[in-house]
Amino acid sequence: MPILDTPFARPDLIRQPDQANEPLQAFDAADEYLLNHLHEQGLSADARVLVLNDAFGALATSLAGHAQVTSSGDSHLGFMALGKNLARNALNTDAVHFVPASATAQGPFDCVLIRVPKTLALLEEQLIRLHDQLAPGAQVIAAGMVKHLPRAAGDLLERYIGPVQASLAVKKARLLFATPEPKTAPRSPYPSLYQLEQPRIELINHANVFCREGLDIGTRAFLPHLPRTLGEQRVADLGCGNGVLGIAYALANPEAQLTLVDESYMAVQSAQENWQAALGARPVEIRAGDGLSEQPADSLDRVLCNPPFHQQQVVGDFLAWRMFTQAKAALVRGGELWIVGNRHLAYHAKLKRLFRGVEQMAATPKFVVLKATK
């Protein structure tokens, strides 16, 4: 496993979720560049450092013990990786204070280190929340690989923090230095809202929610074909996003017992608010988690899923395959996994390797709805 070699530490780091023969490392040249620059500038042990979007804890693990470190991000898998990486490098897990992106980290902070996220709406919301959280003379430094660092990221830093200066590129990574200046308290454009016609509900979407401006086309293809079953079936919405599938299913199946789970804290926050608005006090479990890894075996009758095909900037079917495997373990014999997916992803063939039977329940020119029976 590659070691992140920096002046602060040489941590041995892993990604999450675990994958045999992991082809990717848990850090990149932007992490190295940022840590090297910070060491050159000097960092006192009592400095209050906020790290944003530290994918697998590379920055926070490296800085633990060298400053007072708070880490904040929207990935539960990232939170798990941080804890595991602190432990595997003989650091106390409380050496870094973690704040989910659904909450605001409380400053003041002397230094803010930002890994620019894929979703710029998340960055915008995070920068808005930094208002009145910066100590006098605070440093704000954003980092990213050049190919993943859009001009709009610098524009957001300038709008909400102050003038921005870009570094030279090193190993295809770049730093953006924002100089804080007095700003009027900004008003956040998040969360966004949109209306759904069938079922007729309004959906709240916090900044990092997938398709926060409107229903994604995969879910739109799935909704008319959600199964209806009388009785108290135990059903999970796996990768729930804003909760639309689980809420629509619950409205059509009044006695069903629902569990909604997502690895995004902002998705879980959105799903909780949307469930309450649509279904009031009806019992439900909505949680941030690593898919169904914490779900007891043979405890579900049905799983609904619109699986993702990327983790941050990495595209592939690893996460979807993992979700299918988790669903199989959590389902009772005869239980069903219902999914929607792009035709070209060939989920039908993949599901046949895990389940006794796989049926196509509906199709559009782009999507298929499949039912896999355990």
108 with 208, same domain?
A: no
SS3 96: strand
CB count in 10 Å sphere of residue 359: 12
Rounded Cα distance, 295 and 308, in Å? 20
242-254 per-position pLDDT tens digit? 999 999 999 999 9
Q: What is the pLDDT of residue 311?
A: 45
In a domain, 298, yes or no: yes
Does residue 224 share a domain with residue 122?
no
Same domain, 233 and 172: no
Tell me: do 283 and 336 sit in the same domain. Answer: yes
The last residue of a domain, from among 144, 178, 212: 178
The span from the CA of 118 to the CA of 207, in Å, is 12
Q: Is residue 8 included in any domain, yes or no? A: no
pTM, whole model, 2 decimals? 0.94
Q: Is residue 13 part of a domain?
A: no
Q: Please give the average per-residue pLDDT across 196-201, as a whole number.
A: 92
Q: What is the pLDDT of residue 20?
A: 72
Q: Which of 82-86, 304-308, 318-322 has the lowest mean pLDDT?
A: 318-322
Domain match, 279 and 199 both? yes
63 and 126 in a single domain? The answer is yes
Q: What is the CATH number of the domain that holds 86?
A: 3.40.50.150
> Within this chain, do residues 40 and 162 fall inside the same structural domain, yes or no?
yes
- Position 184 in a domain: no
Cβ(274)–Cβ(243) under 8 Å?
yes
Task: Report the Cα 104 to chain-centroid distance in Å.
Answer: 16
| Domain finish residue from 178, 210, 230 | 178
Average pLDDT over residues 208-229: 92
Write the pLDDT tens digit of every residue in 13-61. 999 987 777 778 999 999 999 999 999 999 999 999 999 999 999 999 9
Structure confidence by residue, pLDDT tens digits, 89-138? 999 999 999 999 999 999 999 999 999 999 999 999 999 999 999 999 99
CB 61 within 8 A of CB 9: yes
The verdict on 333 and 215 lying in the same domain is yes
**Same domain for 224 and 91:** no
**Domain count for the chain:** 2
Q: Tell me whether residue 15 is in a domain.
A: no
> In this structure, what token pair is assigned to residue 282?
């009806």
Is there a single domain that holds both residue 170 and residue 204?
Answer: no
Q: How many CA atoms lie within 13 A of 180 on its CB side?
A: 20
**End residue of a domain, out of 126, 145, 178:** 178
Looking at the structure, tell me whether residues 225 and 279 fall in a common domain. Answer: yes
pLDDT at position 83 over 60: yes
Q: What percent of the chain has pLDDT over 70?
A: 97
CA angle 168, 313, 291 (to 5 degrees): 145
**Non-local CB neighbours of 32 within 8 Å, separated by 6+ positions:** 4, 5, 6, 171, 173
Q: 248 and 148, same structural domain?
A: no
Q: Which runs of consecutive H residues, i.e. helices, occur in the chain?
A: 29-41, 58-63, 76-88, 120-129, 151-160, 217-222, 244-252, 265-279, 318-330, 347-352
Residue 115 maps to a domain: yes
Asked whether residue 280 is domain-assigned, the answer is yes
Bridge pairing between strands 109-115 and 48-52? parallel
Q: Is residue 20 part of a domain?
A: no
Domain of 42 in residue numbering reads as 29-178
